[in-house]
Amino acid sequence: MKKRVLIIGSSNMDFVCNTERLPAAGETITTNESYMLVPGGKGGNTAVAAARLGADCVFCAKLGNDSYGKSLYDFYKNEGIDVRHLKCSREYPTGLASIIVEGNGDNRIIVYPGANMHILAEDVEAAVITYPGAAIMQLEINYERVVEAVQHCNERDIPVVIDAGPASKELDLSRLGHLEIFSPNETETEIFTGIRPYAYESCIKAAIAIRNIVNTKYVVLKLGSKGCFIYDGKYANFSEAFKVNAVDTTAAGDSFTAALTLEYLRNGKNILEAARYANAVGAMVASKPGAAPSIPTHEEVLRFIEEKENEK
Ligand code: RIB
């Protein structure tokens, strides 16, 4: 039987522009690279990843009453996502992200959140009472909704995973209830703790600093091409990345978190196995352009892991 995973989060239309270099202030540059208009948003990417990787995925989000909202709704439905908790705002437009991808695959993102900031308290509560095996949230919606959702989940013993993006010093993480996993990337870790996680020492310092603020069983630091770092108060170590040629890292972290959560549920809460699977998914997503278009299926992930094993 499929594991049910609930995602409460943002949905954006991503305008992706590829360029070899960034323009300086006041400069206009022309690029012969392609551009794309594709489904994105941290919540949307996580929901698509969960569904493609084999979850019974419920997505709670807010879209605008516009053409982007309509096409995102249809897209999620075609992906087999349960769209009954996708709501439509009459007042606010669908979220939009402007993404610049440089030659080395690094991205810079500006989000106009629109309807994402207007998910209602009752929408969140209704979504939680679908009784998922786990709930995943990011920080790209109204923070009050995230705090309430964790509380609803805690009352029902539903494990909660927080993907800590986008980070802001303004957010009081101690307001979050009990979490199963708290997972920031390198930049988010630095914003929340003041520590840039590089080697073992900085990773463990940052993970301890996070656990001093956030009530979480695991801290999983997403470290891009270095894989991830896991800390539970006793165990602390890296889980190595799979080597790929990164062309666009957009959605790699979102898909990592979906994979980590789903595999954690599927394999009896073995965090190390889940991290290995999630590293494979993150690497695969980074090796293709775009957010949602780059997310693999479970079968593709298993083939990828097997191929990488055979290369050793
Ligand atoms: O994490 C990547 C996502 O961040 C993009 O798809 C964009 O929409 C922003 O939400």
For tokens 């516009």, the residue is 66
- Give the pair of three-digit tokens for residue 92: 């606010």
Q: What is the pLDDT of residue 106?
A: 81
Of 199, 264, 263, 279, which Cα lies nearest the Cα of 236?
199
Q: Which atom of ligand 1 is nearest to the CA of 97?
A: 8
Ligand 1 centre from 295 Cα, in Å?
A: 13
Q: Looking at the predicted structure, is the pLDDT value of residue 33 above 90?
A: no
What pLDDT digit, counting tens, does each position of 241-272 carry?
A: 999 999 888 999 999 999 999 999 999 999 99
What pLDDT digit, counting tens, does each position of 37-61 carry?
A: 999 999 999 999 999 999 999 999 9
Rounded to an integer, what distance in angstroms lies between the CA atom of residue 7 and that of residue 123? 12
- Give the pair of three-digit tokens for residue 302: 């298993």
What pLDDT digit, counting tens, does each position of 77-134 carry?
A: 999 999 999 999 999 999 999 999 888 878 899 999 999 999 999 999 999 999 999 9
Q: Are 27 and 79 in contact (CB under 8 A)?
A: no
Ligand 1 centre from 251 Cα, in Å?
A: 6
Ligand 1 centre from 42 Cα, in Å?
A: 5
Q: Is 115 in the pocket of ligand 1 (CB under 6 A)?
A: no
Query: Mean per-residue pLDDT for 197-220?
Result: 97
Rounded to an integer, what distance in angstroms lies between the CA atom of residue 178 and that of residue 99? 33
- Choosing from 11, 109, 186 the residue with most ligand 1 atoms within 8 A of its CB, the one to mutate for a pocket test is 109
Q: What is the pLDDT of residue 54?
A: 98
Q: What is the pLDDT of residue 205?
A: 98
What pLDDT digit, counting tens, does each position of 169-207 carry?
A: 999 999 999 999 999 999 999 999 999 999 999 999 999
Q: What is the pLDDT of residue 177?
A: 96
Percent of the chain scored above 70 by pLDDT?
100
